[in-house]
Structure 1
Amino acid sequence: MPAEKDEHARMPYQFPMPVDALPEIVVPDAVPTDDRLWVPQAENVWFRPLCLNRSQGYWTNLLKVRKAGVLSRHRHPQSVHGFVLKGRWRYLEHDWVATEGSYVFEPPGETHTLVVPDDVEEMITFFQVNGVMYYVDPWGKNLGYEDVFTKIDMCRAHFERVGLGADYVNAFIR
């Protein structure tokens, strides 16, 4: 990338953004101190929505787990990206462990069982999930699913329940 070497180097771009471009999302308290911003997903499991993209069918969130054990067995028909911020976890189907600072790419078609080890008090991981998560039993029988729309519904109900209002989720929807 060429560097500007004149007095315009620190000048902002001088033209308007595209008329049809969506507004950006900035979440200054991505790891919040206000527990109301963590949406319960299961016992001892919460997520913090960051971007819920309806038009492209993906979501980004922080996943927080505060108890060791099996979180879920699921399949991804599209890719998933993860970055571990705190703690560690692994999949029963693989021999690697995702530790603080680890990046994980999960290819389309991957089916795995997320486990948080017994000695981890809290795990927080950033995930970008594209498409659907299918929850399955050990033999692949469908037990349920999540997609960006079920995530939005969970957020609306939770934010209403905790006094932030159902529309609070709109800040994360694109």
Structure 2
Amino acid sequence: MYKDMKGSAHRLAPPEIAVKAMPEDERVWVPQAEGVWFRPLMLNTLVGQWCNLLRVRRAGVLSRHLHPNPVHGYVIEGRWFYREHDWVAETGSYVFEPPGEVHTLVVPEDCPEMITFFNITGSMIYLDEANKHVGYEDVFTKIDMCRAHYAEVGLGADYVDQFVR
């Protein structure tokens, strides 16, 4: 905070966010696809960034995509891998994804639930097997998904506003 010449207090930055990451209310999880949800933690419209938990309760391919900016992930529960690599991200693993790399996220058959924290800036560009663009997500599409879901489940479309910066 700073005070202007008239003594009025002003905030230099948006307010902090402190939320319980694993919500007690299941309605906070936003459905993204069958067996796939995300829980928004911070949706930063100022720089096009979003932080969320991705929860998956099904095996198989989630998506083939790339990011034009770096991505950071931390596996809280379960495991997953990218078809294009020979590593598996398991509980406790940190994952760094460099910009521009195409990868296919897969949850193995013997994993009943996967939860990973992701910090993403920019967009997520979905690709088909021929690398043709088939869709995208960014902070604004995430906000739209949250508004629609929260309105539908009775939390109110404005419930998402607490995560928006």
Shared fold (TM-score greater than 0.5)?
yes
Q: How many residues align?
A: 159
Deviation at 1:65, TM superposition (A): 0.2
Corresponding residue for residue 94 of structure 2: 103
Corresponding residue for residue 10 of structure 1: none
Out of 124, 148, 173, the residue aligned to residue 164 of structure 2 is 173
Deviation at 1:85, TM superposition (A): 0.2
CA distance in 2, matches of 1:148, 1:19: 23
CA distance in 1, matches of 2:73, 2:10: 30
Q: Which runs of 5+ in 2 are unaligned?
A: 4-8
Q: Which runs of 4+ in 1 moved over 4 A?
A: 15-18
Corresponding residue for residue 133 of structure 1: 124
SS of the aligned residue for 2:150 comes to: helix
1:25 matched to 2:17? The reply is yes
Deviation at 1:18, TM superposition (A): 6.5
Out of 118, 140, 144, the residue aligned to residue 149 of structure 1 is 140
Corresponding residue for residue 66 of structure 1: 57
Out of 28, 44, 57, the residue aligned to residue 35 of structure 2 is 44
Task: Please give the TM-score of this superposition, normalised by the length of structure 2.
Answer: 0.93
CA distance in 1, matches of 2:41, 2:11: 24
Deviation at 1:20, TM superposition (A): 2.2
Corresponding residue for residue 116 of structure 1: 107
Task: Please give the TM-score of this superposition, normalised by the length of structure 1.
Answer: 0.89
Higher strand share: 2
SS of the aligned residue for 1:146 comes to: strand
Q: Which runs of 5+ in 1 are unaligned?
A: 1-14
**Identical residues among aligned pairs (%):** 67
Deviation at 1:21, TM superposition (A): 1.5
Q: Which amino acid aligns with 1:80?
A: V
SS of the aligned residue for 2:51 comes to: strand
Corresponding residue for residue 8 of structure 1: none
CA distance in 1, matches of 2:120, 2:10: 27
SS of the aligned residue for 2:84 comes to: coil
